[in-house]
Amino acid sequence: MFMGTRLGDEKFLSGDLEILKRCDAVFMLLGYLDSKGAKEELKFAYEQGKEIYFELDGIPDVDLQSV
């Protein structure tokens, strides 16, 4: 079962974008182009100036000493 089915896609996406406002970056998984919601998240992240990474690029190294 997909998480959005109980709330409805629009309500779920609205909450998801609210969470995304607080994120520093977004990591797009392979197949995101098949998801209307994922494409909306990507657009929103771009408009918000978030760092955007794609699964093929991998995750950048993180300096855990600075966390």
**From 13-17, 24-28, 40-44, the region with the lowest mean pLDDT:** 13-17
Could you tell me the pLDDT band of residue 1, with boundaries at 50, 70 and 90?
Answer: very low
Quick check: helix, strand or coil at residue 5?
helix
Residue with more model confidence, 6 or 22 = 22
Q: What is the pTM of this model?
A: 0.71
Closest Cα to residue 38, out of 24, 55, 22, 61? Answer: 55
Say how many C-beta atoms besides its own lie within 10 A of residue 9's C-beta.
13
pLDDT for 19 beyond 60: yes
Question: Which pLDDT score, from 0 to 100, does residue 42 have?
Answer: 94
Judge residue 41's burial from the number of C-beta atoms within 10 Å of its C-beta, 0-12 exposed, 13-18 middle, 19 or more buried.
Answer: buried
Distance of CA 54 to the CA centre of its chain: 10
Question: Which pLDDT score, from 0 to 100, does residue 10 have?
Answer: 80
Residue with more model confidence, 58 or 51 = 51
